[in-house]
Amino acid sequence: MSNTINRNLRRSALTIAAVLSLASCGYSDYSGQPGHKTQKEAYIPSLTTTITGYGDDYDGTYVYSVNYDNTKWMKKNYAFKSRITSYRNIVVDSNPHRPNVIPDADKFHNSIGFSGGKFKRYWVATDTDPVEDGFLDNFDTSHPLNADGEWIEPMLILTIDTNITEVDRVDYDLQSSVTNASALLRNLVENGGSIKALKLKVNAIELNGAKISVEPYEIGFSIGQMGLNKIALHHQSATKSVVNALLNNSEHLQKVDLKLHFVNGMEVAMPKAFSVMFNHTALKKLVK
């Protein structure tokens, strides 16, 4: 795999790690690939997340899929509709696939993780406007529900205003640079730059240009082939510091410009194609 591809994979993983600085991320807006129709559901491998220590409503392994039909996007009577589904397996770090064997998402519901447990549909958002961000309004609030029958709200809500790598079994051209089995094998053999179990600590969060120091919060992530990233988030002593920084320096359900500052001096800003807002109602549960 070329150094350019490796750098792009690293940049992609760091971008998602920056966005996912807290548990419980819900994706509400995604425009998809122009002219493409997913075969049932397409897998978004770069958004895979594992969460531990945040409680029974949030802990587990999360994978995400999209479903849309953009084949008539140039016609006047085109009606845009994109559904984003998160699947949760209560077993942490239990992927729905083996390493380097990446499926599409058509059978994610009730699929068995390789370390146990089953994947179930969790948050579902339906985006009906390719331009405006719907954020919380796009979510189906009838599911998931907690033991008291209340909707389990995501703590962070993300919109993606550009297309990203999808794995869809009828359109392998969407899978990054891999176009066939030979190309996949060549990329796997040549790739000496995969990263596994890398851990970085965030020591400051910048919101709308204001930098707020926090206790070092550790994020773990791995980078594989075909845009496959895994972000590992665990509850730690620094969680309260990060949550309070967000509550005290952002508005409830209002978009913010986000940048993370790492202990090693690295800075990662939210890309222009991404928008984020924080759900204070859900976040406050972490600092009670």
Per-residue model confidence as pLDDT tens digits over 50-102 = 888 888 999 998 989 999 999 998 888 899 999 999 999 999 888 887 666 66
Domain boundaries, the chain: 3-201+217-238
Instruction: Output the pTM of the full model.
Output: 0.80
Q: What percentage of the chain carries pLDDT values higher than 90?
A: 39
| pLDDT score for 230 | 67
- Maximum distance among all alpha carbons in the chain? 54
By the 10 Å C-beta count (0-12 exposed, 13-18 middle, 19+ buried), 162 is classed as exposed
Query: What is the mean pLDDT of the segment spanning 213-221?
Result: 87
- Cis check: omega of the bond before 130, within 30 degrees of 0: no
The one-letter amino acid code at 16 reads: I
